[in-house]
């Protein structure tokens, strides 16, 4: 019999049970017992579902109350010393303090898990860190699964990935920790073996990064130590190819390797040809990152010869943990009936694995009905009129290179723009959103429930816009925004108005901790049937003499934060979205909007894991932005915005986007992020954030002056703008109002200094 399994199951619950239990506990409404019960109920249900789907192994140890990296550091017993916690006696409360901070200590830093939209907590290590073990929570989960009678395969984040993703204070070399860490893993694995565990999955996605030789050597150093008394180990990779390291990996004392054949099918031959006779190959054939039904015939065409060659040493799995997809289609009643059968969420993917396994064991005849049903669905998707929009394709085909370029270069454009806008030096602006007040949320909820009509809703939103325009005028801001009151979310708002998108009711995916997102599904060619923001922008502009920015989300961000179709390259979908945004830019311009911002906060997070693939991505990502923006006349000022990111290694691409102004998040890094732009001699306008919008703290005029003086030392003054780090939607007016007042005061002081001096720099 072939072995079927999954690298992990979503932990948040089909109805986000974990989220609600966590938040009630954090608010103090319920005790730990309630949360613990929810956790064990979820685990029990998830294991049962894997069994009912007929998987050979049930995955345990993948559940977490917050984050598996945090759980791993708790299991190893290495919470940062700054918290002063006893690692062995850590309480649940302290666990959440590590994740969320407490009165004395900020939380562990959080960052993105490889190229996913999931965020993990970053362990803090030093050369002195000890790994003496923590509480027994992990083992309790495994025991729970065993007690329920399941064939249990525990999963652990591997030592090299753990170290690689950790940070070490004081410039310490994390690699000195390899041996002590491996000994800690050996103790954990020995204990699992003592519990009767046969196989352990050890996740090493770091193997798919471009690792330096010393990091590759870490595998050779760690695995002989940790495997000494371990159950059989399945070393699991995902998100990209790892075959360049096949020889090295297959020399390690592991009994099997899991590879991602969805992202990197090309790696199969290398692994297959090298696979020693006593090793297992786990084929990640069902997409763990996307929501499309598997093409079972195509999967079988790849699996059957492999099965003939290596027999039951072939295991079947999803490409990666299913935590990146929603739980179940059974919660989707509102989906378009044509689109629904095209989809497979986590539970449906379990069923696909069962069918594939049966087909290999008993021949395709044994699953004929299932295959025929799948064929029919795929045929319907392939031939659906909803997928292909010839008009969009023709319009894209007609774009020439000249359409991707503004008429003139930025220095010439800025003269024309200045003639129209008449802005002072160091102009002030904000990033787009103003506080989403309880009143705004209540109005939108009432509208969604049908309690108020469309017109009443629009009226309420117009009243909000009128108010934020008046507030900005009173504050003396130079380039205004309409405040985005009408937007729930910067992608959903556009997706709902574009063809080719659909929305789930319960398609939640964990972003971090208790936070979930519900990405739209892009299933067909994207087209803009009618203007999306023109009415609202025109209305906002009618209220003031000052320029009001038209506010759009960029093509790469819309793509990046959606489930994207798998039947054409991502680049093609990005260009289709770009065309829709381009049409919107043209219409905004026609409506008299003189400044248009196209947000691209997700540009950097789309970078492939391997640096050698970066240029391919950046080429089409930048092209998409240029297609979206270059339709603007030279007189129209194009802004873009990106949140906190490491910009330095992609500055040429950012410059190639050729936005007239870019606003970025810099206040927390004390403007350090700006240095790269300075050294690169970034040629266009730039607004380094001076107000940390993640903090309730109101920046004082003096703080803003200090940051701006630093900025003036790095970027020539005529290029500089003054603005907050990001949108203000999560803040309250009681913070925003004084913060912006201080920001404008700082700008005025700097300008006064300029007027008093020779005009080449602000007086200190």
Where are the extended beta strands (E) located within 160-225?
Answer: 167-168, 199-203
Min dist CB 604 to Zn ion, Å, is 12
Q: Report yes or no: 723 and 465 within 8 Å, Cβ to Cβ.
A: no
The site partner of 2 among ligand GLN, Zn ion, none (C-beta below 5 to 8 Å per kind) is none
Which one of Zn ion, ligand GLN, none interacts with residue 556, CB within 5 to 8 A by kind? none
For the CB of residue 606, give the shortest distance to ligand GLN in the complex, in Å: 14
Q: Lay out the site mask for ligand GLN across 412-431 (x = CB under 6 A, - = otherwise).
A: -------------------x
Smallest separation (angstroms) from Zn ion to the CB of 726: 3
From the CB of 699, what's the least distance to Zn ion, in Å? 17
From the list Zn ion, ligand GLN, none, pick the one residue 599 interacts with, judged by a Cβ distance below 5 to 8 Å according to partner type: ligand GLN
**Tokens, residue 168:** 């070490």
Among 8, 432, 435, 507, binds ligand GLN (CB under 6 A): 432
Nearer to Zn ion (CB atom), residue 181 or residue 602: 602
Catalytic residue among 46, 245, 482, 694: 694
**Closer by beta carbon to ligand GLN, 627 or else 726:** 726
Structure-token match 């760690």, residue found: 222
Of 264-303, which residues contact ligand GLN (CB under 6 A)?
A: none
Contact yes or no for 321/349 (Cβ under 8 A): no
Angstrom distance (rounded) from CA 444 to CA 454: 10
Q: Is 513 left (phi over 0), alpha (psi -120 to 50) or beta?
A: left
* In the complex, minimum distance from the CB of residue 691 to ligand GLN, in angstroms, rounded to a whole number: 12
**Contact letters for Zn ion, residues 628-657 (x by CB under 5 A):** ---------------x--------------
Instruction: State which residue, 97 or 692, has the beta carbon closest to ligand GLN.
Output: 692
Q: Indicate whether 433 belongs to the interface with ligand GLN (CB under 6 A).
A: yes
Structure tokens at 524: 């067909």
| Cα-based angle 437, 117, 254 (whole degrees, multiple of 5) | 150
Least separation in angstroms between residue 350's CB and ligand GLN is 34
Q: Which of ligand GLN, Zn ion, none has residue 307 at its interface (CB below 5 to 8 Å by kind)?
A: none
The listed partner (Zn ion, ligand GLN, none) that binds 710, CB under 5 to 8 Å by sort, is none
Name which of 420, 401, 396, 398 is nearest 575 in CA terms: 396
Query: At 742, phi and psi to the nearest 5?
Result: -65, -35
Binding status of residue 192 toward Zn ion by CB under 5 A: no
CB atoms within 10 A of CB 294: 21
Give the residue, chosen from 144, 240, 370, 599, that forms a contact with ligand GLN under the rule CB under 6 A. 599
- What residues between 563 and 602 interact with Zn ion by CB under 5 A? 601
Q: Which residue from 174, 61, 96 is spatially nearest to 128, judged by alpha carbons?
A: 174
Q: Decide: 207 and 237 in contact? Cβ < 8 Å.
A: yes
601 binds ligand GLN (CB under 6 A): yes
Angle in degrees, CA 638, 639, 642, rounded to 5: 145
Beta strands in 251-361 (DSSP E): 256-260, 280-286, 314-318
Q: Which does 166 bind (CB under 5 to 8 A by kind): Zn ion, ligand GLN, none?
A: none
Q: CB nearer to Zn ion: give 42 or 643.
A: 643
Give me the phi and psi of 29, to 5 degrees please: -80, -30
> Scanning residues 687 to 726, which ones bind ligand GLN (CB under 6 A)?
726
Site track 478-497 with ligand GLN (rule: CB under 6 A), x = hit: ------x-----x-------
CA-to-CA dists, residue 608 to 148, 155, 241, 427, 753, angstroms:
41, 25, 12, 36, 46
392 contacts which partner out of Zn ion, ligand GLN, none, CB within 5 to 8 A by kind? none
| DSSP structure class, residue 405 | S
Q: Which of 181, 218, 335, 551 binds ligand GLN (CB under 6 A)?
A: 551
631: which 2 tokens? 């339709």
Total residues interacting with ligand GLN, rule: CB under 6 A: 13
**What is residue 28's DSSP assignment?**
T
The answer to whether the beta carbons of residues 405 and 630 sit under 8 Å apart is yes
3-state helix, strand, coil in the chain (%, to 5): 50, 15, 35
Give the phi and the psi of residue 434 in degrees, each rounded to 5: -110, 170
State the DSSP code for 244: G
Give the one entry of ligand GLN, Zn ion, none that residue 729 binds, where binding means its C-beta sits below a cut-off of 5 to 8 angstroms depending on kind: ligand GLN
Angstrom distance (rounded) from CA 628 to CA 516:
29
Q: Which stretch binds Zn ion (CB under 5 A): 108-116, 607-615, 722-730, 734-742?
A: 722-730
Q: From the CB of 646, what's the least distance to ligand GLN, in Å?
A: 16
- Residues with Cβ within 8 Å of residue 134, at least 6 apart in sequence: 74, 75, 76, 77, 79, 87, 88, 90
In the three-class reduction of DSSP (H, G, I as helix; E, B as strand; rest coil), residue 661 is classed as strand
Q: Binds 661, which of ligand GLN, Zn ion, none (CB < 5 to 8 A, cut-off by type)?
A: none
Rounded CA separation 194/224 (Å)? 19
Stretch 596-615: interaction string toward Zn ion, x if CB under 5 A = -----x--------------
Q: CB of 588: closest distance to Zn ion in angstroms?
A: 21
Out of 152, 726, 744, 746, the residue judged to bind Zn ion by CB under 5 A? 726
Which of ligand GLN, Zn ion, none lies near 686, with the C-beta cut-off 5 to 8 A by kind? none
415-421's contacts with Cβ under 8 Å and 24+ in sequence apart are 416/634, 416/635, 417/594, 417/634, 417/635, 417/636, 417/637, 417/660, 419/635, 420/594, 420/635, 421/479, 421/547, 421/594, 421/595, 421/637
Three-state secondary structure call for residue 332: coil
Question: Which of 431/618 has CB closer to ligand GLN?
Answer: 431
Write down the least CB distance from residue 494 to Zn ion, Å: 16
DSSP letter at 339? T
Q: Which is nearer to ligand GLN, 138 or 647 (CB)?
A: 647
Tokens of 708: 């701006």
Kindly state the smallest distance separating residue 693's Cβ from ligand GLN, in Å: 9
Distance CA(375)–CA(354), nearest Å, equals 17
The yes or no reply on residue 231 touching ligand GLN (CB under 6 A) is: no
Q: Which of 11, 710, 729, 731 binds ligand GLN (CB under 6 A)?
A: 729
550 is an interface residue for ligand GLN by CB under 6 A: no
Tell me, yes or no, if 639 is annotated catalytic. Answer: no
551 contributes a contact to Zn ion by CB under 5 A: no
CB of 135 to Zn ion, least distance (A): 38
Q: How many CB atoms lie within 10 A of CB 463?
A: 12
Q: Please say which residue, 720 or 726, places its beta carbon nearer to Zn ion.
A: 726
Q: Which is nearer to ligand GLN, 21 or 559 (CB)?
A: 559
Minimal distance, residue 683 CB to ligand GLN, in Å:
23
Query: Rule CB under 6 A: is residue 727 a binding residue for ligand GLN?
Result: yes
Sign of torsion over alpha carbons 48, 50, 54, 58: negative
Report, as residue numbers or ranges, the catalytic residues. Answer: 694
The contact set with ligand GLN (CB under 6 A) reads 431-433, 484, 490, 551, 599, 601, 641, 643, 726-727, 729
The contact set with Zn ion (CB under 5 A) reads 601, 643, 726
């Amino acid at each position: 019999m072939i072995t079927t399994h999954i690298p992990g199951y979503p932990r948040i619950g089909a109805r986000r049970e974990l989220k609600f239990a966590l938040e009630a506990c954090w608010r103090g409404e319920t005790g730990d017992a309630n949360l613990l019960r929810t956790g064990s109920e979820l685990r029990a249900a998830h294991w049962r579902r894997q069994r009912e789907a007929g998987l050979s192994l049930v995955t345990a140890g993948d559940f977490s109350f917050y984050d598996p990296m945090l759980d791993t550091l708790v299991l190893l017993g290495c919470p940062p010393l700054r918290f002063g916690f006893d690692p062995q006696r850590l309480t649940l409360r302290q666990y959440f303090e590590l994740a969320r901070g407490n009165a004395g200590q900020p939380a562990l830093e959080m960052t993105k898990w490889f190229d996913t939209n999931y965020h993990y907590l970053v362990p803090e290590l030093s050369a002195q860190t000890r790994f003496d073990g923590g509480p027994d929570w992990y083992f309790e989960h495994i025991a729970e699964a065993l007690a329920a009678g399941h064939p249990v395969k525990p999963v652990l984040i591997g030592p090299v990935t753990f170290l690689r993703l950790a940070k070490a204070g004081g410039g310490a070399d994390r690699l000195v920790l390899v041996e002590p860490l491996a000994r800690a893993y050996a103790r954990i694995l020995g204990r699992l073996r003592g519990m009767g565990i046969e196989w352990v999955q050890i996740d090493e996605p770091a193997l798919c990064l471009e690792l330096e030789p010393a990091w590759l050597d870490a595998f050779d150093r760690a695995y002989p130590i940790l495997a000494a008394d371990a159950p059989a180990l399945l070393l699991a990779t995902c998100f990209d190819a790892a075959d360049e390291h096949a020889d090295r990996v297959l020399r390690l004392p592991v009994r099997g390797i899991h590879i991602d054949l969805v992202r990197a099918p090309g790696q199969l031959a290398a692994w297959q040809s090298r696979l020693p006779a006593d090793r297992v190959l786990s084929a990640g054939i069902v997409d763990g990152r996307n929501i499309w039904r598997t093409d079972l015939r195509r999967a079988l065409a790849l699996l059957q010869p492999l099965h003939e060659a290596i027999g039951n040493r072939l295991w079947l799995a999803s490409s990666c943990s299913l935590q990146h997809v929603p739980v179940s289609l059974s919660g989707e009643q509102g989906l378009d009936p044509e689109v629904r059968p095209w989809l497979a969420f986590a539970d449906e993917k379990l069923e696909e694995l069962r069918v594939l396994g049966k087909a290999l064991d008993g021949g395709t005849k044994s699953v004929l009905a299932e295959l025929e049903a799948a064929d029919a669905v795929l045929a319907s998707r392939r031939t659906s009129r909803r997928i292909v929009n010839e008009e969009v394709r023709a319009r894209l085909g007609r774009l020439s290179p000249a359409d991707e370029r503004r008429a003139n270069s930025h220095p010439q454009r800025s003269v024309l723009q200045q003639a129209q806008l008449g802005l002072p030096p160091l102009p002030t602006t904000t990033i787009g959103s103003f506080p989403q007040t309880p009143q705004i949320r209540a109005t939108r909820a009432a509208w969604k429930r049908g309690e108020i009509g469309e017109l009443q809703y629009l009226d309420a939103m117009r009243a909000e816009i009128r108010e934020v325009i008046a507030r900005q005028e009173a504050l003396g801001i130079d380039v205004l925004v309409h405040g985005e009151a009408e937007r729930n979310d910067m992608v959903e708002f556009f997706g709902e108005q574009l063809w080719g998108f659909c929305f789930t009711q319960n398609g939640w995916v964990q972003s971090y901790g208790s936070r979930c997102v519900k990405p739209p599904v892009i299933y067909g060619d994207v087209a803009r049937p009618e203007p999306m923001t023109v009415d609202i922008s025109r209305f906002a502009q009618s209220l003031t003499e000052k320029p009001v920015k038209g506010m759009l989300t960029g093509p790469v961000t819309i793509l990046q934060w959606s489930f994207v179709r798998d039947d054409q390259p991502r680049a093609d979908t990005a260009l289709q979205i770009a065309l829709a945004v381009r049409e919107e830019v043209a219409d905004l311009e026609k409506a008299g909007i003189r400044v248009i911002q196209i947000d691209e906060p997700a540009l950097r997070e789309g970078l492939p894991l391997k640096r050698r693939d970066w240029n391919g991505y950046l080429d089409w990502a930048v092209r998409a932005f240029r297609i979206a923006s270059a339709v603007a006349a030279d007189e129209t000022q194009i802004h873009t915005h990106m949140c906190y990111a490491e910009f330095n290694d992609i500055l040429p691409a950012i410059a190639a986007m050729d936005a007239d102004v870019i606003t970025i998040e810099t206040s927390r890094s004390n403007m350090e992020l700006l240095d790269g732009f300075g050294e690169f001699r970034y040629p266009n306008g730039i607004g380094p954030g001076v107000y940390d919008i993640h903090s309730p703290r109101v920046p004082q005029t003096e703080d803003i002056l200090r940051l701006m003086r630093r900025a003036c030392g790095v970027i020539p003054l005529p290029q500089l703008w003054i603005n907050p780090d990001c949108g203000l939607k999560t803040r309250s007016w009681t913070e925003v109002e004084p913060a912006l007042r201080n920001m404008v005061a700082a700008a005025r002081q700097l300008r006064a200094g300029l007027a008093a001096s020779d005009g080449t720099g602000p007086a200190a």
